[in-house]
Amino acid sequence: MKHFPARTILFCLILFAWLPANRAVAQRFNPAEVARWRQQARQITIIRDTWGVPHIYGKTDADVVFGLLYTQCEDDFARVEANYIDAIGRLAEVEGESALYHDLRARLFMDSTQAIAQYKKSPAWMKKLLDAFADGTNYYLATHPDVKPALLTRFQPWMPLMFSEGSIGGNISAVSAERLKGFYTQTRSTSWLEHDVFKQDREPVGSNGFAIAPSRSATKNALLLINPHTSFYFRSEVHMISNAGLNAYGAVTWGQFFIYQGFNENCGWMHTSSQADSMDEYLETIEKRNGKYYYKYGSEWRPVQTQTVSLPYKQGDKILRKEFTIYRTHHGPVAGQQGDQWLTVRMMNDGLNALSQSYLRTKATDYASYKEVMKLNGNASNNTVFADRKGNIAYWHGNFMPRRDTTFNWNQPVDGSNPRTEWKGLHPVNDIVQVLNPASGWIQNCNSTPFTMSGSSSPAKSNYPAYMAPDAENYRGINAVRVLSRRSAYTLDTLIAAANDPYLAAFEELIPALVSAYQTVAANPGAVSPAVTEAIDTLRTWNRCYGVGSVAQTVATYWGERIQRLARNRIPAGQRPDQLRFTAIVVNNTTAAEKISALNDVLTELTRDFGNWKTPWGAVNRFQRLTGNIDETFDDQKPSIPVAFTSSAWGSLAAYGARTYPGTKKRYGSVGNSFVAVVEFGPKIKARSVVTGGQKSRPDSPHFTDQAALYCAGQFKEVRFYPEDIRQHAEKTYKPGEE
């Protein structure tokens, strides 16, 4: 009998163990391409630090993009896939017929045919990155046959062109799917009316960005706060390093291949959601002749463009299809109807420029080079707060900005038949609302008006067309100006303290209004209970600051939510008041008796749910992460952590949107502070960061909730940016496919 070396026997055992998985891989991918991916993977090194953050090294940028997508899939493949299912308009194949109009909306503005065409005309450097995106994701699936995608078994290089700015949905999320459904199903219902999201209870989303100039810095180095407010676990923390000059650290939206909000060794950028008017609605006058539609433009009638699309949707175990005839004018797709007129939507529709700008800015070296990249005009939904190591701080309000005739009200749909409503090209970057190195020494934007961004050094509203910055002030903006104005010299520690300032500016008007209502109602003997009197005394002496031990915050928050629900139904038709105007409606459009009745109901609710209305905020407001699923579940009987900060609706700079869930009495967070970082741009980068929970989505990972305690306390970890620090704090070093 022939004897085989032990090494040969071991190899055979490994081979037999690998074959079933290899057969699964072979069904998805060609062995030759898997071999090619494996070869590229050998050029990539991933170092996971002690927080699980991946530092991805490669010879080329494409190598790093390959490694980035691989690590994202390792950390949360479900979210990577979900973002692309959404972006490419195939959600109904997973969620069923109810998502058809979500998919139709996506197809109206960008479909795979357009994305493929843009991929084909992409410059060579971009094609390499797009190919690396697909290869890295597919290599993960090839080496993890146990992963079962919900829909996408293969990723294509054109997909990122449909998801190019970093915020999934982008501007199309502002287009009402209900109104669109009303038009394309021809069902006259409330969906034919303007979809007014303000009349729903919802947590405000957005972000905060602060920049501190050397004149206000203790070290004379510029500082930057990066503080996006998103749904939890929406972005991951990563570090991308290539031999071709890429060295960027920050937050990446799952499935994207660029640092969306972050910094490199020379500069940093923070994006906040913008109300800068970068899209318009047109009312089209329509006639039907011989079965065809025409729209009026000037003195002529033009044929409406039509296209038949067949959208798949899941029903039980089957995939069915529904056909739609979609309509377009030269302004854009038809997305609704107002009276007898059709409503079209025009917006930026250039995925290649948007994606190019998103990537190239991560390699900017200073203010001048960052501004040069902005000339691509590919950012339609964000403002930018900026700082660099030369000491510059800057702000731009929006970027993609159509030039328009200012005699029209662009906050409303305009007459599509009037040629004067055409866009007249784009405003150059120098035209848009901005500031560079303001005398105040600081910049803030909290999704608020740019005309208070730097205190007395802010731009003048009168210098700009109204459509450039219709954004209103909000309570975070008010608090940010107050906080940044009061300190002469900032450090990373005091910048963190500013980002966590506990003052809740919205209650400056609401609590006095409640106290005044109490004085009116209590003038009648026996009209109020002793509990209401005690609660009013508690609120009257409250400093308007959040804290885990604050009973006043609990009572104020529950009462504020209840009285807002009552007032929301009294908003005049057609109005969408901003936060400050809504507070005025709450104060003025509810009676004293209603205010006190709402407080009495709150005390009853708290006593019922927690045994005593004198319940501290930290006992109510909790952080919990149990499953890591996109739709998380919550359980009062399982461990959770108290959280002091609260909804940004009240002015909380550190935002935490929480609510009760089926079966819970406590409130659990799901939106708000996500990736948060502070950066100092000195001779060497100094930075700290924290994410919601942890880097990994699997409950069995040590990095599932290892940052939760820091996050809930408003504390940060040290960022490992330089090779020596990364190596010293390395937990694991490997190559894709060999972990």
How far apart, in whole angstroms, are the C-alpha atoms of residue 309 and residue 313?
Answer: 13
Q: CB-based burial of residue 596 (10 Å sphere; 0-12 exposed, 13-18 middle, 19+ buried)?
A: buried
How far apart, in whole angstroms, are the C-alpha atoms of residue 368 and residue 358?
Answer: 16
Q: Which residues are annotated as a binding site for Ca(2+)?
A: 277, 280
Q: CB-based burial of residue 729 (10 Å sphere; 0-12 exposed, 13-18 middle, 19+ buried)?
A: middle
HEC string of 312-364?
EEEECCEEEEEEEEEEEECCEEEEEEECCEEEEEECCCCHHHHHHHHHHHHHC
How far apart, in whole angstroms, are the C-alpha atoms of residue 533 and residue 522?
Answer: 9
The single residue of 122, 164, 191, 207 carrying the catalytic annotation is 207
In the chain, what's the furthest Cα-to-Cα distance?
106
Q: Which tokens in the block code for residue 458?
A: 């802010």
How many Cβ atoms are within 10 Å of 278's Cβ, its own excluded?
A: 24
Dihedral class, residue 220 (left if φ above 0, else alpha if ψ from -120 to 50, else beta): left
Which residues make Cβ contacts (< 8 Å) with residue 564, sequence separation at least 6?
582, 586
Q: Which tokens in the block code for residue 641?
A: 């952590």
How far apart, in whole angstroms, are the C-alpha atoms of residue 187 and residue 449?
Answer: 38
How many Cβ atoms are within 10 Å of 421's Cβ, its own excluded?
A: 20
Integer-rounded Cα radius of gyration of the chain: 27
How far apart, in whole angstroms, are the C-alpha atoms of residue 657 and residue 574?
Answer: 27
How far apart, in whole angstroms, are the C-alpha atoms of residue 325 and residue 345?
Answer: 17
Amino acid identity for residue 186 in this structure = Q
How far apart, in whole angstroms, are the C-alpha atoms of residue 475 and residue 650?
Answer: 7
How do 641-642 and 235-242 pair as beta strands? unpaired
Q: Which tokens in the block code for residue 482?
A: 């107050």
Q: Which tokens in the block code for residue 140?
A: 């993960």
Residue 188 has what DSSP assignment?
-
How far apart, in whole angstroms, are the C-alpha atoms of residue 99 and residue 198?
Answer: 22
How far apart, in whole angstroms, are the C-alpha atoms of residue 314 and residue 319?
Answer: 5
Amino acid identity for residue 190 in this structure = T
Q: Which tokens in the block code for residue 160?
A: 């990122």
Any idea of the CA torsion for 239, 360, 85, 675, to the nearest 10 degrees?
A: 40
Instruction: Please say whether the beta carbons of 218 and 200 come within 8 A.
Output: no
- Where are any strands of DSSP class E within 339-476? 341-346, 382-388, 393-396, 414-415, 434-436, 442-445
Helix (H) or strand (E) holding 70: helix 61-87
- Where are any strands of DSSP class E within 504-637? 621-623
Among all chains, which residue has been given the structure tokens 């972050």? 262
Angle between helices 507-521 and 551-568 (to 10 degrees): 80
Q: Which long-range contacts (CB under 8 A, 24 or more apart) does 95-102 make?
A: 95/314, 96/313, 96/314, 96/315, 97/313, 97/314, 97/315, 97/322, 99/313, 100/311, 100/313, 100/322, 101/177, 101/178, 101/180, 101/181, 101/184, 102/177
Residue 369 is among the residues annotated as catalytic for this protein:
no
Helix (H) or strand (E) holding 599: helix 592-610
Residue 156 has what DSSP assignment?
-
Instruction: Please say whether the beta carbons of 397 and 276 come within 8 A.
Output: yes
Q: Which tokens in the block code for residue 51?
A: 């927080």
Catalytic residues: 207
